[in-house]
């Protein structure tokens, strides 16, 4: 049986045009007053944003847009917050991640979040970034699902690829210098955007995490509310 069937059955994830183990403490939400719904991207913009990416190390197929509500398409929107430009704010209730921009604007991405029992909130920073990362399930996950032992650190983890749970890019979240084991990462499972299905991490469409990866450096503040 292929990795994709295996992963789908397990239901886990360790995590600018038209938007995370340890429990993080001291959530700093920022003041968010407005999430304006815009008219959304045009068909031409959608094709540019979510079309295939054949030149990636592992070619990425076009997104099945019919599997996603249009409000979760990437777009630039008015967004009021006290947080500084460049901060990433994830709202697990609305399934939106906002990258704060200048002049009261933000790039908004639709995301998938942790299912019941795996939710968390807090403030962290991007401690490191990886293109086409390996995936290594934490010990707590292996304890729940012993079949994942084949992907343990001792066995070298799961190699990068289109079916890897971390997708095309991963932003690793750190707190007080320690890896929280939570990530912002990609996925090919378009149907999961706008839903609570993961094991706590925040998943983006591969095309969207690539866009965010380009925009945020190591040290970026990430707030999950």
> Going residue by residue through the chain (225 aa), what tens digit of pLDDT does each one get?
444 444 443 333 333 333 333 333 332 334 444 454 556 889 899 999 999 999 999 999 999 999 999 999 999 999 999 999 999 999 999 999 999 999 999 999 999 998 754 566 899 999 999 999 998 877 877 788 887 887 788 888 889 999 999 999 999 999 999 999 899 999 999 999 999 987 778 999 999 999 999 999 999 999 999
Residue 10, φ and ψ in degrees, nearest 5: -80, -20
**Residue among 27, 64, 98, 201 flagged as catalytic:** 201
**Residue among 27, 64, 98, 185 flagged as catalytic:** 185
- CA 10 distance to own-chain centroid: 18
Do 203 and 167 form a contact (C-beta atoms < 8 A)?
yes
Report which DSSP code applies to 81.
-
Q: Is 185 a catalytic residue?
A: yes
Question: In terms of residue numbers, what domain contains 162?
Answer: 3-224
Number of domains making up the chain: 1
- CATH number of the domain within which 58 lies: 2.40.440.10
| Max Cα-Cα span within the chain | 51
Beta bridge partners of 128: 172
**The model's pTM:** 0.81
Measure the CA angle with vertex 45, ends 41 and 50; round to 5°: 100
């Amino acid at each position: 049986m292929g990795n994709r069937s295996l992963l789908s059955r397990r239901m886990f994830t360790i995590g600018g045009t038209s938007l995370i183990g340890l429990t993080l403490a001291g959530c700093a939400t920022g003041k968010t007053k407005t999430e304006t719904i815009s008219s959304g991207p045009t068909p031409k913009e959608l094709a540019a944003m979510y079309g295939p990416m054949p030149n990636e190390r592992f070619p990425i197929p076009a997104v099945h847009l019919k599997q996603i509500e249009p409000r979760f398409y990437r777009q630039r929107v008015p967004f009021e917050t006290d947080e500084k430009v460049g901060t990433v704010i994830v709202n697990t209730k609305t399934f939106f991640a906002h990258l704060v921009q200048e002049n009261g604007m933000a790039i908004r991405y639709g995301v998938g979040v942790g299912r019941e029992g795996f939710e968390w909130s807090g403030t962290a920073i991007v401690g490191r970034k990886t293109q086409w990362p390996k995936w290594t399930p934490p010990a707590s996950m292996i304890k729940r699902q012993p079949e994942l032992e084949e992907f343990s650190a001792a066995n070298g983890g799961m190699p990068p690829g289109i079916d890897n749970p971390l997708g095309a890019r991963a932003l690793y979240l750190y707190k007080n210098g320690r890896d929280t084991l939570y990530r912002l990462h990609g996925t090919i499972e378009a149907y999961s955007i706008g839903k609570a299905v993961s094991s706590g991490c925040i998943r983006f469409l591969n095309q969207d995490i690539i866009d965010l990866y380009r925009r945020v450096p190591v040290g970026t503040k990430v707030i999950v509310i």
